[in-house]
Amino acid sequence: MSSTVPIVLGVDLDGVCADYEGAFRSSVARQLDRAPETMPPQTIMDAYSQWGLTLAEFEEAHRRAVLEDRIFRHMSPLPGVSDALWELSDLGVWIRIITHRLIFNWAHETSAADTAAWLDAHQIPYRDLCFIGDKPNVGADLYVDDSPTNIVSLREAGRTAIVFDQPYNRDLPGPRATTWDEVVRLVSEEIDARQRQLPLPLSGLITAERAPGDAAADDDGHLAVGG
Ligand SMILES: [Mg+2]
């Protein structure tokens, strides 16, 4: 059954839908001839200082990972992401992919094309694809993101943001999802909460099924539809 409340879910890609760190680790291992086990999971989100990279080294390694290893096309999806987003889409959720992948201005064609190819290859349903750094301005109702910086700025802007659990975001307060099943549960709860807040669901106005003699409801409905 479709939701009667349209809700726009802003979905981040790297670290939420896709295993950026795993793909980047493999690429850095190739580029620098390093053993992957010398590059543990990040517990702080920065330019991979825990792998011994400077900011300049990270930027160069990222550029090569995108352009040479085509990580945006080949990285693994995180478990359950496609099924979960289809489930939410079937509930009427408007899925807006929001990513900050166009970091370097000489890799836009590859980044955008590989991202779109990856979304199709892994059967991710979405209605919008936004390449933007300033996420609060995208105007989704609800967000799921892994970046501490993004979560904090979204919440400071008054947005509801679900933390997608990663080792580098554990100190952030919830809501938090450790799996995509939990994202579905949290978004479903948000839909239910919003429906309870609405005195007259929009679908009720459109179908106009009123009890006989309920003149007030009819009047309200006609006014709202006409406006
Ligand atoms: Mg991310």
Judge if pTM exceeds 0.75: yes
Q: Output the CA 145–ligand 1 centroid distance in Å.
A: 6
14 is catalytic: yes
Lowest mean pLDDT among 42-51, 67-76, 200-209: 200-209
Classify the C-alpha dihedral 124-127-132-138 as positive or negative: negative
- The CATH class, in words, for 1-18+77-196 is alpha beta
Q: For 116-123, what is the mean pLDDT?
A: 98
More confident residue, 167 or 133: 167
Q: Output the CA 33–ligand 1 centroid distance in Å.
A: 26
Q: Output the CA 3–ligand 1 centroid distance in Å.
A: 28
Say if residues 96 and 138 touch (Cβ distance below 8 Å).
yes
Q: pLDDT band at 211, cuts 50/70/90?
A: very low
Select which of 14, 141, 145, 146 is catalytic: 14
Model pLDDT, residue 102: 86
Q: What percent of the chain has pLDDT over 90?
A: 74
Summarize pLDDT for 132-166 with one digit per residue, the tens.
888 777 889 999 999 999 999 999 999 999 999 99
pLDDT higher than 80, residue 202:
no
Select which of 12, 114, 141, 145 is catalytic: 12
134 is catalytic: no
DSSP code per residue over 49-115: GGGT--HHHHHHHHHHHHHTS-HHHHPPBPTTHHHHHHHHHHTTEEEEEEE----STTSHHHHHHHH
Q: Output the CA 14–ligand 1 centroid distance in Å.
A: 4
Q: Output the CA 100–ligand 1 centroid distance in Å.
A: 8
Q: Output the CA 38–ligand 1 centroid distance in Å.
A: 23
Q: Output the CA 32–ligand 1 centroid distance in Å.
A: 24
Summarize pLDDT for 79-100 with one digit per residue, the tens.
999 999 999 999 999 999 999 9
Q: Could you give the CA distance from residue 120 to residue 61 in angstroms, rounded to a whole number? A: 26
Segments making up each domain of the chain, as ranges: 1-18+77-196, 20-76, 197-226
Q: For ligand 1, a single-atom ion, which residues have Cβ within 5 Å?
A: 12, 14-15, 146-147
